[in-house]
Amino acid sequence: MDTEGEADISLRTVLTAVNQQSKDIEAIIDAKVTEKIGGLREELQGANQLMKSQVKKLKTDASYKWKYEGNKIQFDFNTENLEDLVQTLWAIDNGKVDYARDLLSATVDKIKHRNKLIKIADTSEGGWDTARQYDANLLHLTRG
């Protein structure tokens, strides 16, 4: 009889432990799912913010008439970089370090390229026509 009672207690102990582990696993899964959903929600908010910014830019571009084409080009360049920097801030605030690093790296590359075009325009007889041709050729080669 003694062994039957011990087996009964041991079985209850095992069942209690299994039930507790099941509850623990369920809690862990719930936490992970909630975390993932929160991350997706933040990413959607960031994408929504970017879309709003782009729509606003399109509305502004359509309503403003530029006197000089060079000013429009510089404004567009600055606006594009500003949007990337705003996205970078969002990424940092939301712990998306790799995404923030990619945005910053792309912005640095764009500024370096723009500075190169400025030097080409400044040192060539053709000015910005030469720089635009260089840029078009470079684009053609990279898309090749």
Q: List the Cα angle 69/54/59 in 5-degree steps.
A: 60
Question: Against a cut of 0.75, is the pTM above it?
Answer: no
Q: Label residue 97 by pLDDT band (50, 70, 90).
A: very high
Question: Looking at the predicted structure, is the pLDDT value of residue 51 above 90?
Answer: no
- Give percent of the chain with pLDDT exceeding 90: 44
The secondary structure of the chain in percent helix, strand, coil, rounded to multiples of 5, reads 90, 0, 10
Amino acid at site 22: S
Tell me the average pLDDT of the chain.
Answer: 86
Question: Looking at the predicted structure, is the pLDDT value of residue 49 above 60?
Answer: yes
Give CA–CA dist 34/44, Å, rounded: 15
